[in-house]
Amino acid sequence: MRFGLVIALILLFFSGHKYHAPRGTGFVYVKAGRTLAPLINGGGQELGRRGGTENTPAMVAMARALRIAKEQEAKVVAQERAIKQAIIDHVSQFEHVKVFSGNDAGFAPHILCFAIVGVRGETIVHAFEKHDIFISTTSACSSKKAETSTLSAMGVDQHVAESAVRISLGDQNTMADAEEFNRVFDELYSNFTKIMG
């Protein structure tokens, strides 16, 4: 764990599409005094760190998108936390629901993870898809291989972890989205409880 913290202080990776920059853009923070071996050799681009033609328009667009994201950050975080709280307050009332994400400063404002214990996560995801609500069972960068989930690694019972789903919010989500999610949740939960007996 301590080694991981040291690494985190040396390199930080940012994907541009996470803040509405063009896909395929991103940047790396490298701690002063550290060097990286180039992945692509040749040419003198990017101070010898990467050969090939630089995509200047995409870099400019990425920088602009980051500037806009930072300018709107406080407003967006407050909006995401309000939407997240509306969903947490609603789903927490149900007997078979286990919420894993809090809504204080220790938790990402845009991620909500919960389980309907006894219903597989994939089943929950597909049920919401039929109502044009798209959630997921794992992080986007997760492997499809059968392996210990993050929740299981945190000590959550495997049976409960298999029921977990994740909602990812963004700056375009509104409180109306939370209200629609909660309405659909009620309908699906009623169906799930019939299956669970």
pTM, to two decimals = 0.79
When divided into structural domains, the chain yields a total of 2
Question: In this structure, what CATH number is given to the domain that contains residue 129?
Answer: 3.90.1150.10
Looking at the fold, whether 45 and 98 belong to one and the same domain comes out as no
* Domain enclosing residue 163, as ranges: 73-196
**Dihedrals phi, psi of 165, to nearest 5 degrees:** -135, 165
Q: Are residues 160 and 88 in the same domain?
A: yes
Same domain, 92 and 187: yes
- Based on the domain organization, do 45 and 78 belong to the same domain? no
**Separation CA 70–CA 20 (nearest Å):** 12
Q: In terms of domains, do 49 and 82 share one? A: no
**Domain co-membership, 35 together with 92:** no
167 φ/ψ angles, rounded to the nearest 5 degrees: -105, 130
**Active-site amino acid positions:** 141
pLDDT in tens, the chain (197 residues): 334 444 556 888 899 999 999 999 999 888 888 877 887 777 777 777 777 888 899 999 999 999 999 999 999 999 999 999 999 999 999 999 999 998 988 899 999 999 999 999 999 999 999 999 999 996 554 545 544 567 777 777 888 889 999 999 999 999 999 999 999 999 999 999 887 76
